[in-house]
Structure 1
Amino acid sequence: MSTIDHHTLQRLVSAGASVGAEVNGCAGGWEVVINYGSAKQPLVATRGKPRKFRNFTTLATYLRTLSITEFKVNSAEFDPEAKDDKDPRRLVAAERLKAAHAAADYDKWFRAQVQASIDDPRPNISAEDARKQMSNQREELLKRIKTSSH
């Protein structure tokens, strides 16, 4: 069975071809079959697998942007509860989302730390003074270690 991708569909619609669509429910979403003349071709993603829309509104908006405003819907096989946990795109998207949340949480924490530092009423000291203080503390600690080990 031949298939059709977004770019080909877009060129057909732009050329003024009479294009129709059938929306079929499936496990976890919706798939589209494009009708052009006597041909019926499933809409595929860039990797050649049937393109699945998890949200019907997203699908309707997609078709509308292509000027396909009327289409037939078959929801007999639609199962909103079904999830394809082995779909690598789903796993990658979940990891991206987790990473984005972690980055946002870190950014929020970091900005709060910077603001707390800016708002700190204690006087600032120069880097040189800080080095001297740390050097003195280090020497004092080493002296205590030497005296306690004897």
Structure 2
Amino acid sequence: MPHVPPDIIDGKAVKSLVDAQAIQGAVVLGQPGGWAVLVRYGAMERAISAQRARRPRLWRNLNTAAAFVREELGVPRFEVDTADYDPDAVERKRPDQAERLLRQREAAEHDAWFRSEVGKTLDGIAAGTVGLVSDEDHRKRWQKKRTEMLARAGQAG
């Protein structure tokens, strides 16, 4: 028998049904790649949709789907249907995840290096081994450098 996808309901509508205490029951339904949650209200039974999608939301494991039903929907007793559950049916790859983690690690390493350098400089100032440049001296040095750069630019142009 071919698999017929369930009708869906969006999260905001489910929240309204929960607030109105209109949820009569729930089924955690095994799907290829995860678990969907069906809610029962009135004579209707619908799957909760993924955000901004017209397909059922899938939880990766049964525990998180069950916690959602129990804690978010307030349904302490519910059915579990494993008939169509196939954890290997959907390959979950997140190439962006590896790149994001690499950027996070690089940022953390740079932050540690930067804090170390600032700490060394502050220690050197406190010990008197690192000299300070007055604002006036800095302005004079920068003005001299700027004049040299503008002269070179004028010769090149």
Distance change in 2, residues 1:116/1:126 (3 Å): closer
C-alpha distance in structure 2 between counterparts of 1:94 and 1:22, whole Å: 34
CA contact (8 A) 2:23 2:73 kept: no
Q: How many residues align?
A: 128
Deviation at 1:41, TM superposition (A): 0.9
C-alpha distance in structure 1 between counterparts of 2:10 and 2:57, whole Å: 9
C-alpha distance in structure 1 between counterparts of 2:34 and 2:99, whole Å: 21
Q: Secondary structure at the match of 1:21?
A: strand
Deviation at 1:78, TM superposition (A): 3.5
Give percent identity, aligned residues only: 32
Of 50, 59, 63, 1:53 maps to 59
C-alpha distance in structure 2 between counterparts of 1:81 and 1:113, whole Å: 50
CA contact (8 A) 2:26 2:38 kept: yes
Aligned to 2:121: 117
Greater alpha carbon shift after TM alignment, 7-16 vs 45-54: 45-54
Q: Secondary structure at the match of 1:41?
A: strand
Aligned to 2:77: 70
CA contact (8 A) 1:20 1:71 kept: yes
Deviation at 1:15, TM superposition (A): 0.9
Question: How big is each residue's C-alpha offset from its partner over 1:52-85, in whole Å with a ceiling of 9 and x where there is no partner?
Answer: 1124333233221321222211234141685333
Distance change in 2, residues 1:92/1:11 (3 Å): farther
The alignment's TM-score, normalised by the length of structure 2, stands at 0.63
The alignment's TM-score, normalised by the length of structure 1, stands at 0.65
